[in-house]
A and B are shown apart, each in its own frame.
Chain A
Amino acid sequence: MKPPYFDMLIAQTVGDVTACLKQHGPEAKIIAGGQSLMAMLNMRLVKPEVLIDISRISDLNYIRRDGPDIEIGATVTQAELENWEELETALPLLARAIPHIGHFQTRNRGTVCGSICHSDPSSELPLSLATLGGSVVLTGPRGKRTLPVDAFQTGMLSTACGPEEFVTAVRFPAAKPGQHHAFHEVARRHGDFAVVALAAVADDKNVRLGVGGVADRPAVLELGTGQMADLDDRLNGFAWSLGAGDDIHASARYRRELVRRLGKKLVNEVRDAAS
């Protein structure tokens, strides 16, 4: 299968991209690593008039600390973040999640922001961003705006990114002292789409449990550490609230059971570590 025909812009600067989006907006599609988009192009599930390659924009190739957040520019690959020397201390949840993303070769090319933009409900990075309560930086004709993650991802493969703007960075809150993190994923094969993926972060007051692969976007359950007596009921309610469906990979019932059982395991693991 081959991609459809499209005009292409190899952008060198953020200005190149915004100028092109202003002209072609809804008909244009951004490509960075293309590890989801290229497969969709090859299968002709998307047919853009113009493809804008942002992978050469050197201004967007950075990982930096900015206040309480770690900001990651749009051309940083998943492998670059995986090999970032401060990852384990600054973003321990991502250190646990990244090895589950695709494979060695796709992480070498796929970008962190690209995965956030693609917003696949079973993807590890959108789940991690939602669990940590991060945000997304968009650049458009009127400059930059920053959206909290729950305002950014609006559903399956859909986001609040407008036709004349594009994601230039993503911000993950850095780990604070006393926080603990865990990640677990169930997939048919390693590197395959998650049937259910779970992420958890806890401090001495709160536990946040994120679940991907069940609803149309990652969902987060917040629990006070004082509310653990009825944990089973809370997890059961959470599992039902996700509206799981049957598909070729797993039944809805199996997915709910994974949320209940693995959710409990993860919550206990991070809570014990944090207390």
Chain B
Amino acid sequence: MPLLEKHDRHAVRVTLNGRQVEGHAKPNMLLSDFLRAELGATGTHVGCEHGVCGACTVRVDGKAVRSCLYLAVQADGRQVDTIEGLGREDGSLGILQQAFHENFALQCGFCTPGFLTTLDHYLGTNPDPTEDDLREALSGNMCRCTGYAEIIRAAMAAAAELRKRS
């Protein structure tokens, strides 16, 4: 099998929020950088870049993962969903975003994409969580503004709204 050469840029095709897109990456390019610099999807934020803060969380093949601990070439052929995919077609806020807005669950907003993409996956696996479940699920996301109480409240509200609609 041929090696992907370290200084070459290799084609990486992903389905980004339902749309087929292509960019190029050297083997050492992080998925987070690929999304932002190659595909222009700058909604994914990069905080610590070693898997601690959770800001860069995206969904790959449906699963919430850290895009700073994922190489772009490893994502080739996969489905990647980011914060840009959470709004509605007409540009208005999706259910999770609306719940965060209404419950004051963000201030500076830097960590918010990571919280929303994590919840987007988690609430699919556990539609009726307790507050403790949510604290556990969100323990891998850091927020330095809110103190988390509003985030948990927003997540509970979003879960209730999603249950009502399903």
Count of A-B contacts with CB under 8 A?
113
Known contacts A2-B30, A106-B66, A106-B140: A11-B1 contact under CB 8 Å: yes
User: Which residue from chain B places its CB closest to the CB of A49 in the assembled complex?
Assistant: B6
Query: Are A10 and B69 interface neighbours, CB within 8 A?
Result: no
List 30 interface pairs A-B (beta carbons < 8 Å), by A numbering.
A2-B49, A4-B28, A5-B7, A5-B26, A5-B28, A7-B3, A7-B27, A8-B27, A8-B71, A9-B3, A9-B4, A10-B1, A20-B3, A35-B69, A38-B50, A38-B68, A41-B28, A42-B69, A43-B50, A50-B3, A53-B73, A79-B63, A102-B140, A104-B138, A105-B140, A108-B64, A108-B65, A109-B65, A109-B69, A189-B139
Query: Are A51 and B27 interface neighbours, CB within 8 A?
Result: yes
User: Which residue from chain B places its CB closest to the CB of A24 in the assembled complex?
Assistant: B3
A16 within 8 Å of B (CB atoms): yes
Residues on A with beta carbons closer than 8 Å to the beta carbon of B118: 104-105
- What 0/1 pattern do residues 228 to 251 of A give for CB contact below 8 A with B? 000000000000000000000000
Query: Are A104 and B4 interface neighbours, CB within 8 A?
Result: no
Residues on A with beta carbons closer than 8 Å to the beta carbon of B1: 9-12, 16, 19-20
Q: Which of B27, B64, B70, B121 is in CB contact (< 8 Å) with A38?
A: B70
Residues on B with beta carbons closer than 8 Å to the beta carbon of A254: none
How many angstroms between the C-alpha atoms of A11 and B71 in the bound complex? 14
Query: Are A105 and B66 interface neighbours, CB within 8 A?
Result: yes
Q: Which of A2, A10, A99, A109 is in CB contact (< 8 Å) with B28?
A: A2
Q: Which of A4, A8, A39, A55 is in CB contact (< 8 Å) with B69?
A: A39
Query: Are B28 and A103 interface neighbours, CB within 8 A?
Result: no
How many angstroms between the C-alpha atoms of A5 and B29 in the bound complex? 9
Q: How large is the interface on B (under 10, 10 to 19, 20 to 34, 35 or more residues)?
A: 35 or more
Residues on B with beta carbons closer than 8 Å to the beta carbon of A189: 139
How many angstroms between the C-alpha atoms of A106 and B57 in the bound complex? 10
Residues on A with beta carbons closer than 8 Å to the beta carbon of B70: 34, 38, 109
User: Which residue from chain B places its CB closest to the CB of A83 in the assembled complex?
Assistant: B125
B74 within 8 Å of A (CB atoms): yes
Closest Cβ of chain A: how far from B127's Cβ, in Å? 15
Closest Cβ of chain A: how far from B81's Cβ, in Å? 13
Known contacts A43-B50, A51-B27, A190-B139: A8-B68 contact under CB 8 Å: no
User: Which residue from chain A places its CB closest to the CB of B117 in the assembled complex?
Assistant: A105
B113 within 8 Å of A (CB atoms): no
Query: Are B74 and A53 interface neighbours, CB within 8 A?
Result: yes
Residues of A within 8 A of B (CB): 1-12, 16, 19-20, 31, 34-35, 38-39, 41-43, 50-51, 53, 55, 79, 99, 102-106, 108-109, 189-191
Closest Cβ of chain B: how far from A127's Cβ, in Å? 20
User: Which residue from chain A places its CB closest to the CB of B74 in the assembled complex?
Assistant: A53
Residues on A with beta carbons closer than 8 Å to the beta carbon of B71: 3, 8, 31, 34, 38, 51, 53
- What 0/1 pattern do residues 43 to 73 of B give for CB contact below 8 A with A? 0000001110010010000011110111101
Q: Which of B5, B66, B139 is in CB contact (< 8 Å) with A7?
A: B5
Query: Are A6 and B69 interface neighbours, CB within 8 A?
Result: no
Closest Cβ of chain A: how far from B150's Cβ, in Å? 20
How many angstroms between the C-alpha atoms of A108 and B122 in the bound complex? 11
Known contacts A1-B50, A6-B27: A104-B6 contact under CB 8 Å: no
